Amino acid sequence: MSCGLTLAPVVEGARTGGAAKHAFPRMALDEAVRLAELFRLDVMDLVSLDCIDRTVRMAMRLLDVPLALVGFVDATREWCLSPSPGFPLEITRELSFAARVVESCGIVSVEEASSDLGLYAHPLVSGPNGVRFLAGCPVRSPSGAAVGALCVMDRQSRRLSDIDAEMLAGLAAAVGDGLAPRVLRCVDEGTGLLLRPGLDVVADHVIARARRYGEPVSLVVIDLDAAAGAPGRLAPAAGEPLVRAVAHVLRTKTRASDVSAHLPCDEVVVLLPGTDERRAAMIARRVRHELSRLAAEGCVQPFAARLATATLDPAAEELSLAALLRRAEPLIVDDVIDGGARGRSPRRAAGVGPRSPRR
């Protein structure tokens, strides 16, 4: 049987019933972009979605399994969509089989879940009538980011055949196709940084989590400009390589859970979930050090940069991205990399003056 699909390899370590290569989930290298792709679909916390329910029922019939779901994976949890009764809607990422599938190169299959280190405590596996067989294939957004997984399960141990794997891949692709109408453009393909719409979507989820768990939220603002003695703004042709270089610094010097975005007027921000003022200052200093090195190497157009930071307590009257942007203050007084910015007031150059209407 052939559906004209190119299948990624099944993870063999999980097929044997032993522990898979990664027993517990790792954060993906481009996790911020993946999360933006997930959040802009606006599927987390949905009770049901018709296109997914239809595909899940079809998976149960075609693969002859009693249980199936689509699990969407954010930074801390898996949210499950399934027409089958009795499923937990939410599972921590540490116990999430869908998270393992998201991080894999393709289909993951586990023949005997009760002996798998990463699954024995899963709420669907534990107990005498628990799930024994699991298989999953990544569900991808239209841009190709793995945002979740189509998972099928059985209470009997079994092996995933090549034909079943092909059908599972085709059904997972159908789920991704069904999500296409929900997509907004949120990522700058040239730099990998979020654009403002993507940042807004991610920030809504980060702030909702902060309120839910009583966590602080911080923000680092990097204001890029031409170096002293150069024209007042970066030339677009030169500014793009600079922003790409800054994006690389942020990918290597911030945490996987941090969210970086490129705003208009050559401003880059980093949203820091669950981060207090002290830790935000440490991250900002680390980024500043790397930007100073970048300026000294002269590999990009000479530039100036000023860093500012802001932190909001979850009990703040206004806990929002807009409030963080307004409250951003200089991390270090007159914090300038490679010279000052031309044509700005001292307060605006320091990052505390009035912001432009783009907010």
Query: Which pLDDT does position 311 carry in this prediction?
Result: 94
Higher pLDDT, 19 or 289: 289
Query: Which pLDDT does position 8 carry in this prediction?
Result: 41
Q: Picking from 34-43, 55-64, 266-275, which range would have the lowest pLDDT averaged per residue?
A: 34-43
* 358 occurs within a structural domain: no
Prediction pTM value? 0.56
**Alpha-carbon distances of 353 from 263, 308, 317, rounded to whole Å:** 17, 12, 22
pLDDT at 15 exceeding the cut of 60: no
Q: Are residues 107 and 80 in the same domain?
A: yes
Rounded-to-integer distance, Cα 127 and Cα 86, Å: 14
Query: Which pLDDT does position 83 carry in this prediction?
Result: 64
Q: Are residues 259 and 133 in the same domain?
A: no
Q: Picking from 7-21, 45-59, 199-213, which range would have the lowest pLDDT averaged per residue?
A: 7-21
Q: Picking from 158-162, 193-197, 308-312, 320-324, which range would have the lowest pLDDT averaged per residue?
A: 193-197
Q: Are residues 124 and 271 in the same domain?
A: no
Q: What angle do CA 34, 25, 8 make, to 5 degrees?
A: 70
* 359 occurs within a structural domain: no
* 266 occurs within a structural domain: yes
Rounded-to-integer distance, Cα 67 and Cα 19, Å: 22
Domain's final residue, options 182, 216, 251: 182
**115 burial type by CB count under 10 A (0-12 exposed, 13-18 middle, 19+ buried):** middle
Structure tokens at 75: 């930074």
Domain's final residue, options 140, 159, 182: 182
Query: What phi and psi, each to the nearest 5 degrees, are found at residue 304?
Result: -115, 150
Q: Which residues pair with 272 in a beta bridge?
A: 218
Query: Which pLDDT does position 332 carry in this prediction?
Result: 42
In the three-class reduction of DSSP (H, G, I as helix; E, B as strand; rest coil), residue 110 is classed as: strand
Query: Which pLDDT does position 3 carry in this prediction?
Result: 35
Q: Are residues 37 and 127 in the same domain?
A: yes
* 4 occurs within a structural domain: no
- Mean predicted lDDT score pLDDT of the chain: 78
Query: Which pLDDT does position 99 carry in this prediction?
Result: 92
Query: Which pLDDT does position 27 carry in this prediction?
Result: 42
Q: Are residues 210 and 345 in the same domain?
A: yes
Report the share of the chain in percent with pLDDT over 70: 77
**Contact (CB, 8 A) for 116 and 17:** yes
Q: Are residues 22 and 129 in the same domain?
A: yes
Higher pLDDT, 165 or 121: 165
Using alpha carbons, select from 101, 85, 102 the residue that is nearest to residue 48: 85
* 7 occurs within a structural domain: no
* 191 occurs within a structural domain: no
Domain enclosing residue 329, as ranges: 196-350
Rounded-to-integer distance, Cα 6 and Cα 105, Å: 13
CATH of the domain at 245: 3.30.70.270
Q: Are residues 276 and 231 in the same domain?
A: yes
| Sequence-ordered alpha helix ranges (H) in 133-260 | 162-179, 196-213, 236-253
Domain's final residue, options 116, 149, 182: 182
Report which secondary-structure segment, H or E, holds 260.
strand 259-263
pLDDT at 186 exceeding the cut of 80: no
In DSSP notation, 291-326 reads HHHHHHHT-S--EEEEEEEEEE-TT-SS-SHHHHHH
Q: Are residues 88 and 152 in the same domain?
A: yes
CATH of the domain at 176: 3.30.450.40
Q: What angle do CA 215, 24, 286 make, to 5 degrees?
A: 50
Q: Please tell me the total count of domains within the chain.
A: 2
Q: Are residues 271 and 341 in the same domain?
A: yes
pLDDT, one tens digit per residue, over 103-154 is: 887 899 999 988 887 787 777 887 777 889 999 999 998 888 899 999 999 9
Query: Which pLDDT does position 227 carry in this prediction?
Result: 62
* 217 occurs within a structural domain: yes
Q: Are residues 75 and 158 in the same domain?
A: yes
Q: Are residues 29 and 57 in the same domain?
A: yes
Q: Are residues 257 and 341 in the same domain?
A: yes
Query: Which pLDDT does position 29 carry in this prediction?
Result: 43
* 188 occurs within a structural domain: no
pLDDT, one tens digit per residue, over 262-308 is: 988 778 999 999 999 999 999 999 999 999 888 888 777 788 888 99
